[in-house]
Amino acid sequence: MYIVCLDMEGVLVPEIWIAFAEASGIPELKRTTRDEPDYNKLMRWRLDVLKEHGLGLPEIQKTISQIDPLPGAKEFLDELRSFTQVIVLSDTFEEFAMPLMKKLGYPALFCNSLSVDPDGTITDFHMRVENSKLTTVKALQSIGFDTIASGDSYNDLGMIQASKAGFLFKSPESIRASVPEIPAFDTFDELLQAIKQAMV
């Protein structure tokens, strides 16, 4: 039995922090793991910036609700979920992703979580497990699923390479060139066809 594991940011929705930096008018939030490779440090810094701007979870969710999924993403997910099981596997936080999941028809989402005070202040974050994409795909395989995975970035390669079939989607040229053996697509139609063919 197949299950499809999809990365979220860059595949179904824009990069949340970049879109949020634009929507909120806080450009320094565009800083990514390319600027600060220590993810925990980067997240603590982001939470401090949010606090400085007086942004708690309700304000952040309101801003994120102005961000739209990538064009065609909802239709792609609807079609995919009509013939197979799908899990969105992301390194983001469910509290940030929820406004976007609403626009995608609430697919299953496996990601991380935040601690939030009653007044809306975000006080901490919790990563579900180390290396969550690969770990999750392996766990699904251990309960009898054949996985098919797709994502756009380096942190997706583990789950793509460990799966029965895997595809890059909307990846930068540098990533495609580093793993030329992985088929790479740019349109939802191509990705849908490739997933269907992998299930034959």
What positions carry a catalytic annotation? 7, 9
Q: Nearest Cα to 136, choosing from 186, 197, 91?
A: 91
10 makes contact with Mg ion (CB under 5 A): yes
Which of 4, 7, 147, 184 touches Mg ion (CB under 5 A)? 7
Region near Mg ion per CB under 5 A, out of 32-40, 130-138, 144-152, 183-191: 144-152
Region near Mg ion per CB under 5 A, out of 33-41, 70-78, 131-139, 151-159: 151-159
158 makes contact with Mg ion (CB under 5 A): no
CB of 95 or CB of 152, closer to Mg ion? 152
**Distance in Å, CB of 152 to Mg ion, minimum:** 4
153 makes contact with Mg ion (CB under 5 A): yes
The CA distances from residue 130 to 16, 33, 123, 135, 171, in Å, are 21, 16, 21, 8, 23
166 makes contact with Mg ion (CB under 5 A): no
152 makes contact with Mg ion (CB under 5 A): yes
Query: With contact defined as beta carbons under 8 Å apart, do 65 and 95 qualify?
Result: no
CA 180, distance to chain mean position in Å, is: 22
Per-residue mark of binding to Mg ion, 103-142 (x: CB under 5 A): ----------------------------------------
The CA distances from residue 54 to 9, 49, 115, in Å, are 25, 9, 16
Structure token pair of residue 138:
């392996």
Region near Mg ion per CB under 5 A, out of 58-66, 97-105, 110-118, 152-160: 152-160
Q: In the chain, what is the greatest distance between 2 CA atoms, to the nearest angstrom?
A: 53
108-116, strands of its sheet edge to edge: 122-126, 108-116, 85-93, 2-6, 146-151, 165-169, 184-185
